[in-house]
Structure 1
């Protein structure tokens, strides 16, 4: 173990030199972190893409960002480097058991080390770093050095390794232990054979701290805290040793017991978990960067920040969430569930580096497909806290997402699994959302409310719906009294993806029927939803079939779906690049800037820039040969959006089109997803 400390110190030292390429490393700076994939970028090249340093002011403080992995429902942060009180401690965990996340502790696993006289040894923090998949701290002392590393071994268990080296010229006797406090109210700490357990009165959680060796433990419940002695070791000069602790967060006794059994196996060779973590995250990083179409270090950093954003929002099966999936944002109240539209976008991006997780993200929503074929808008772990939303669904991008996954791994078995479900969902739109049965669908709801129908579009308060009314189709289906161009363009694209799948599966009858339907649909969209006078696509009313002339991102979808004529695409692109319309300081606002209702402060869809909608426009423009215009707008978008490039600030839900400021939720998954889709675009 003697060389381990020196190797890892080389990694961390290299990080602070600002290395962006393995080719810049000298032989002395090479380490296990940088040689797993020879002569290629690994996670070591991407330190602190997100700022995870901070101390929560209270249990509900969402200003401190945190790290999780493996779909864990708890996460951790780094202490500020100059905070001596928290030296040797990781902040947290932050618990995601209920609707609103809570900090269980300022530090539940704090390292302490005592000398031969059992006097505390005081360390200084030299460096703190967040690498993809791990948190690392470097501590110093005249006679010792410590490298602390935190990873997730499973979806319920985090591991910490303290690598302690005797840097003196004398033998040293050390006693090592762990301590922590509990901020969360309504908790009780109890001693256990492995360490401590934490029981909650208002959460269906069991938390615990375990060590592989335990000498002594004490618990204090008045101001909840614990202290445990792990073991005593003799270290020869320059000798090092590893000490371990684990933190479990489980939803029930069965899960907790399973983790205890798993940990007994882990403790036999705990370093294997750290090696597996490094290998997996290097694979994620390399798989993604191999598809990023640039060697620009700033864009590579952005890609890895987006990867980290997605994985920090990963949640494993729990309660009524039957498969893995991603939250829209762990750091925003009310976003602790899976949403349909979000899931399709997440899956498309996840396929770039984690196709199995992408497949489960798709399955997580289709687990709830009803007999009619509908997919709910969103689902949650605990329906006693939050009910699944069956009032509406979301735009049909599921077939697109499944096909994106197939493009990555060529797994026809997944196509075979999903195809009948996708067909059923596709047909549902025409059964429940086609009021006059003319094969042109409308957004709608199951409860007859206009607000749910607007939610179904994904563009909740878009101006185009301001005058819309509801029409009853049957007892559980209502439509807006307008046919939306984006919805039907999505359906056209979905038909094309289903046609491709049918070809793979030799479902010739279905393929021929879809081809016929799509030919007719494209004709209608080109002829009846486009206004040649203004050069733009619009929704239209059901009764008079008059166009609803509000210029928003819905008109970009026909370009993305490749159903516009070349002339129509050219005219639409001219409006997109118009500085009075959509080429604002930060391009692609969700309402034309010259519209009287344009006001980015009045909600999601009256001006803010959403990166998913920007991607539809950029991709659509490229489809029709306007690549240079698209690239120019993309450059403005990425360079002017606050904190997006060359910054550890989180990726935001949307952005202000006039000043580029980040708006609404932090660490937003579908923004990260569409960043990756653009950066890997051919």
Structure 2
């Protein structure tokens, strides 16, 4: 909805505002009957019919996770196109509450860099709060619980496969379901990775319980800090500062600007790998590194579009951006027949037809193109955008706008008539010939 609103405001401002109003209408409040500990949280998906917990019979209502911190980005775009200060003042405290939820319920190590994760939910944990997971051995699949048990099974040679509902929710929370960086890889690829010298444990993800001041479980975090969410949060702080300034709240504007600067410095210091010239998620180690970083970069899980999120959110340095753009333009990395896919060709989990591990999504491609333009790579952004438009099957004809496209041959993939593909196709079209204007 954030992405739809960002594009909608260019031709239907009122509908853009209604899109965002609808999202915040279901923001969790402190007196919520179902999950008061999640005050500020925005559910991933709401529908016409409520979930069973909320008195309805809806099956697709989803409060297992939220989505990345793009709300203030969309709100500021709508305000800049409408000048509606009254609406901005109405939505500002909701944005602040959402940011507060991230730092309270998803920042396990309390360093101001929230992680992706999962809420307290019957799909994720037992009634007494133990993490649920499914284990496959020679005897078949079994359901087990508890973080200690999970770690035991990870190190048991008899374990053939593990599936964790909270891991799935965390990937949904990123908006990049099944991405390699969250530990997803198919068995054939994993066996090839091991044969080439890698270890199975490279793809295991850790989990942490998040508890409030009274010790109550409020959710789970992956034991890794994601560079895209950190970058969105840095930009979120920057937009909140702009909004606060517009609303004549100078102290709040100054506070958010300082928070943005701190996150920017952390991202560039901790999440950029000099050897490969790219940004990555980082693991949360038992003990922080001497330089203050939570852990080392997860280079082993390959490159994905999260690596250009610091460019899109304008937190990368010029030197770091230059290295990232080189990778984006590399024919052996992201510059495929349809460029800027959801995994690089070198990613061990790459598959041209695998969900979020190769397919080209127009939102991530747009983020990459805008990121290039932010750092002056206007000609290159134009060339890649033309390549995308010409090679993604049906985009220049009357075919339905699809969810994603095959990076190697341009084949249409996923759902037809897909909203955020349409939104970003419009935004890409509007940028043609003027990426840096």
Q: Which residue of 1 aligns with 2:195?
A: none
Match of 1:472, SS state, is strand
Tell me, yes or no, if structure 1 residue 515 matches structure 2 residue 173: no
Match for 2:4 among 343, 346, 365?
346
- In the TM superposition, residue 596 of structure 1 has moved relative to its aligned partner by 2.6
Match for 2:403 among 653, 663, 668?
653
Q: Which residue of 2 aligns with 1:640?
A: 391
Asked if the contact 1:643–1:649 (Cα under 8 Å) also holds between the matched residues in 2, the reply is yes
CA offset digits 1:601-622 (Å, max 9, x no partner): 23x2110000000000000000
Asked if the contact 1:562–1:623 (Cα under 8 Å) also holds between the matched residues in 2, the reply is yes
What is the 5 A alignment of 1:81-480?
A: 343-371=1-29, 372-383=39-50, 384-447=57-120, 448=124, 449-466=166-183, 467-474=204-211, 475-480=217-222
Larger relative helix fraction: 2
Q: Which residue of 2 aligns with 1:524?
A: 266
CA offset digits 1:115-164 (Å, max 9, x no partner): xxxxxxxxxxxxxxxxxxxxxxxxxxxxxxxxxxxxxxxxxxxxxxxxxx
Q: Which residue of 2 aligns with 1:671?
A: 421
What is the 5 A alignment of 1:6-45?
A: none
- In the TM superposition, residue 408 of structure 1 has moved relative to its aligned partner by 1.1
Asked if the contact 1:587–1:633 (Cα under 8 Å) also holds between the matched residues in 2, the reply is yes
Tell me the distance in 1 between the aligned counterparts of 2:238 and 2:179: 28
Match for 1:578 among 330, 337, 351?
330
Match for 1:554 among 296, 306, 309?
306
Tell me the distance in 2 between the aligned counterparts of 1:418 and 1:473: 27
**Unaligned runs of at least 5 residues, structure 2:** 30-38, 51-56, 125-165, 184-203, 212-216, 287-294, 432-436
Asked if the contact 1:591–1:598 (Cα under 8 Å) also holds between the matched residues in 2, the reply is yes
- In the TM superposition, residue 643 of structure 1 has moved relative to its aligned partner by 0.3
- In the TM superposition, residue 680 of structure 1 has moved relative to its aligned partner by 2.4
Q: Which residue of 2 aligns with 1:185?
A: none
CA offset digits 1:36-55 (Å, max 9, x no partner): xxxxxxxxxxxxxxxxxxxx
Q: Which residue of 2 aligns with 1:330?
A: none
Tell me the distance in 1 between the aligned counterparts of 2:206 and 2:168: 10
Asked if the contact 1:483–1:542 (Cα under 8 Å) also holds between the matched residues in 2, the reply is yes
Match of 1:496, SS state, is helix
Tell me the distance in 1 between the aligned counterparts of 2:271 and 2:406: 29
CA offset digits 1:311-364 (Å, max 9, x no partner): xxxxxxxxxxxxxxxxxxxxxxxxxxxxxxxx0000111101111010010011
Tell me the distance in 2 between the aligned counterparts of 1:585 and 1:407: 36
What is the 5 A alignment of 1:599-638?
A: 599-602=351-354, 604-638=355-389
- In the TM superposition, residue 388 of structure 1 has moved relative to its aligned partner by 2.0
Match of 2:344, SS state, is coil
Q: Which residue of 2 aligns with 1:218?
A: none
Runs ≥4 residues deviating over 6 A: none
CA offset digits 1:488-542 (Å, max 9, x no partner): 1000111111111000101112111111111111111111110111100000001
Asked if the contact 1:450–1:469 (Cα under 8 Å) also holds between the matched residues in 2, the reply is no
Q: Which residue of 1 aligns with 2:186?
A: none
Match of 2:353, SS state, is helix
Tell me the distance in 2 between the aligned counterparts of 1:370 and 1:418: 14
- In the TM superposition, residue 600 of structure 1 has moved relative to its aligned partner by 2.3
Match of 1:378, SS state, is coil
- In the TM superposition, residue 633 of structure 1 has moved relative to its aligned partner by 0.4
Tell me the distance in 1 between the aligned counterparts of 2:399 and 2:258: 48
Match of 1:422, SS state, is helix
Match for 2:240 among 492, 498, 503?
498
Match of 1:473, SS state, is strand
Please, what is the CA RMSD of the aligned residues? 1.1
TM-score, normalised to structure 1, is 0.49
Tell me the distance in 2 between the aligned counterparts of 1:468 and 1:510: 36
Match of 1:479, SS state, is strand
- In the TM superposition, residue 453 of structure 1 has moved relative to its aligned partner by 1.1
Asked if the contact 1:380–1:386 (Cα under 8 Å) also holds between the matched residues in 2, the reply is no
Tell me the distance in 1 between the aligned counterparts of 2:426 and 2:353: 27
CA offset digits 1:457-484 (Å, max 9, x no partner): 1111011111222210021211000000
Asked if the contact 2:241–2:255 (Cα under 8 Å) also holds between the matched residues in 1, the reply is no
- In the TM superposition, residue 387 of structure 1 has moved relative to its aligned partner by 4.5
Larger relative strand fraction: 1
Tell me the distance in 1 between the aligned counterparts of 2:76 and 2:344: 32
- In the TM superposition, residue 414 of structure 1 has moved relative to its aligned partner by 1.3
